[in-house]
Structure 1
């Protein structure tokens, strides 16, 4: 008898990114009927403390206990592996993965591996300040021998405004700010930009950005999830 794999999704980090991830999985799965789609259990723990605020010392509230609790609950539900729909939360990846006996897919590693496979030589890293300060993408680029560029403080503030003041606040992204950052990346010989925050994946979708220059971490994770369930991605 065929056994279908069930994926556990640690979500709510933010809620709209989790909705978008679920939507993407459904749209990208090559399925002709309901039964050919993926079995998923999603926690949408929107009250999880902010990852960046904790990492950069703005808040004493660590999200790690909440993340581990949800990981364990998803494992108890009988999921076969876990995904975390937040790049910055991967600062706690080791603790989360170590708390369960099922695999946890690493969005940072999968995104950089994908960029390497696509032949990218130098990547601009667009992510939260918490992600940048903890060098999640920088370290992974070094592991896979890819050059990278990190933004200066002013441009990093632009990206944080887009993530927090625009998208997390339910508004449209300020594309003038975004495009000025992209211009800077291209002027510095970047042949790709990692959208290393799930809110930036929403920006890509809303503005129909191309797949050649923009490497969407959430889409990479969605495709990896589909394949890990033994299904084919469109």
Structure 2
């Protein structure tokens, strides 16, 4: 089995979700409740990531993330992941600076949407994720359409992610507002699926909340992680 190295703390709530989901899925795949994977977690500061992106310092962000992956590499990790969507803005640059392979949450999500034959897809996430093309790119390059909320809604969603979800706060009025935005996107753009492009979103969105598929990027990413761990 391969040893996972995970960049966590991006934010802490989703890091816990990743860990629990990895254990659960690993035991389901191996068929043993007494079977556990070996993994390393390097917890970094998500607020530093936001500050670097806000000030346009993508090269500094690349170096920050690459240093964390290299630490995991030195500690014995066979491969690495970043347990968040937003830092994937510089994923390709980080991969070039390290020696172990990395699994992209973006590519994994694209493959899932392709398997579901989705052509019109909604995307929610931090403002960085919704504004930039790093997550949309694989979809639009292959003829799929990706829709995001309008600018005011993007700012609202981003504020709730940073001010509430990243701190483990879940409010019913926030959930209602997110579902209302999703409903408008379904009606306006006829989206066939919704990318939960923030790894804290499973705290709010539940599968029964919408009548279209939700692409839970945590579960999608973890599925790829387990395949790699179990690979000979």
TM over 0.5, shorter chain: yes
| Partner SS state of residue 77, structure 2 | coil
> Structure 1, unaligned stretches of length 5 or more?
none
Question: What are the residue-to-residue correspondences of 1:101-120 with 2, within 5 Å?
Answer: 101-120=99-118
Correspondence for 2:92 among 79, 91, 94: 94
Q: Which structure has the highest helix share of the two?
A: 2
TM-score for the superposition, normalised by structure 2: 0.88
Structure 1 residue 83, shift from structure 2 partner: 0.7
Larger mean CA deviation between 215-224 and 92-101 belongs to: 92-101
Correspondence for 2:11 among 7, 14, 17: 14
Question: What are the residue-to-residue correspondences of 1:139-218 with 2, within 5 Å?
Answer: 139-173=137-171, 174-187=174-187, 188-204=189-205, 209=209, 213-218=213-218
Larger mean CA deviation between 4-13 and 53-62 belongs to: 53-62
Partner of 1:23: 20
Partner of 1:75: 73
Q: Any idea what the Cα deviations from partners look like across 1:59-84, whole Å, max 9, x if unmatched?
A: 89943332111100111122111110
Larger mean CA deviation between 190-199 and 153-162 belongs to: 153-162
> Structure 2, unaligned stretches of length 5 or more?
none
| Partner SS state of residue 126, structure 1 | strand
1:43 to 2:35 alignment: no
> Is the contact made by 1:10 and 1:82 (CA closer than 8 Å) also made in structure 2?
yes
> Is the contact made by 1:116 and 1:146 (CA closer than 8 Å) also made in structure 2?
no
Alpha-carbon RMSD across the aligned residues, in angstroms, is 2.4
Structure 1 residue 140, shift from structure 2 partner: 2.0
TM-score for the superposition, normalised by structure 1: 0.87
> Is the contact made by 2:7 and 2:41 (CA closer than 8 Å) also made in structure 1?
yes
Q: Any idea what the Cα deviations from partners look like across 1:147-198, whole Å, max 9, x if unmatched?
A: 1112111211231133112211321141121111111111120011100111
Q: Any idea what the Cα deviations from partners look like across 1:16-57, whole Å, max 9, x if unmatched?
A: 110110001111222344663321111122x35443443233
Partners in 2 of 1:51 and 1:144 — Cα distance? 30
> Is the contact made by 2:10 and 2:46 (CA closer than 8 Å) also made in structure 1?
yes
Partner of 2:64: 66
Partners in 2 of 1:16 and 1:125 — Cα distance? 21
Aligned length, in residue pairs = 226
Structure 1 residue 223, shift from structure 2 partner: 0.6
Partners in 2 of 1:48 and 1:159 — Cα distance? 17
Partners in 2 of 1:211 and 1:83 — Cα distance? 31
> Is the contact made by 2:58 and 2:90 (CA closer than 8 Å) also made in structure 1?
no
> Measured at CA, do residues 60 and 145 of structure 1 come closer, stay the same or move farther in structure 2, by a change above 3 Å?
closer
